[in-house]
Amino acid sequence: MKKKKYPVELFSHVNCTGYMKPIKDGIVIQIYDSSGKFYSEKCVKSADCKAIAIKLNYPNEDIELKDLSEWCGETVEKTYYERAEKNFTGVLVGYKKLVTKRYIGTDWCDDTYYSYGYCFKTPSEVIDVAVVYYKNNCKRYVRIEDICNESMEDR
């Protein structure tokens, strides 16, 4: 397996024009039993439970996005990171893959001894990022395109 060649060496000073900011988009799956009460178990044992993908909209009313009660692999997309514009300098300490968006959904498993419903998540958008520390114990994930080397005269 070939190692990927990155444009900037580790532990070098870099200028960055943006970073990946974690966001909370409020999209969750809520499960209700047949009587309408909120279901708090991890696995659903009965197919008559209702699963709904909603967008939490505090303090206003929550928005229903999609009914996932079919338990057949339907999904909605949830965003975890978005790009924020910000100029800063720091030290590049590593590279990693960052999941910025995922599909979350419900599915049903018919095992030989037991049948149950469950929620799942699968990545829909994965990007390569650099880990940049910009002050003590503070790091940011920076897209490769947002990094440029800091020259020796600039420091």
Domain membership of residue 131 (yes or no) is yes
CA atoms within 13 A on the CB side of 75: 12
Mean pLDDT value across the chain: 87
Domain membership of residue 126 (yes or no) is yes
CB 71 within 8 A of CB 106: yes
Question: What pLDDT score was predicted for residue 153?
Answer: 44
How far is the C-alpha of 149 from the C-alpha of 24, rounded, in Å?
Answer: 31
Q: Is the pLDDT of residue 3 over 70?
A: no
Q: Largest Cα–Cα distance in the chain?
A: 69
Domain membership of residue 51 (yes or no) is no
Domain membership of residue 102 (yes or no) is yes
Averaged pLDDT, 130-142: 96
Domain membership of residue 55 (yes or no) is no
How would DSSP label each residue in 1-16?
-PPPPPSS-TT-EEEE
Structure tokens that stand for 37 in this block: 């009460």
Q: Is 146 exposed, middle or buried (0-12, 13-18, 19+ CB in 10 A)?
A: buried
Domain membership of residue 20 (yes or no) is yes
Q: E strands within 23-114?
A: 27-32, 50-55, 63-67, 72-79, 81-110
Q: How far apart are the first and last CA of the chain?
A: 37
Domain membership of residue 2 (yes or no) is no
Question: What pLDDT score was predicted for residue 41?
Answer: 67
Give the chain's domain count: 1
Domain membership of residue 107 (yes or no) is yes
* Secondary structure element (H or E) that encloses residue 117, with its range: strand 115-135
Per the structure, the complete domain to which residue 120 belongs is given by: 13-25+71-154
What is the C-alpha radius of gyration for the chain, rounded to an integer number of angstroms? 21
Residue 44 per-residue DSSP state: B
* 42-87 per-position pLDDT tens digit: 677 777 788 888 898 877 888 888 988 888 888 999 999 999 999 9
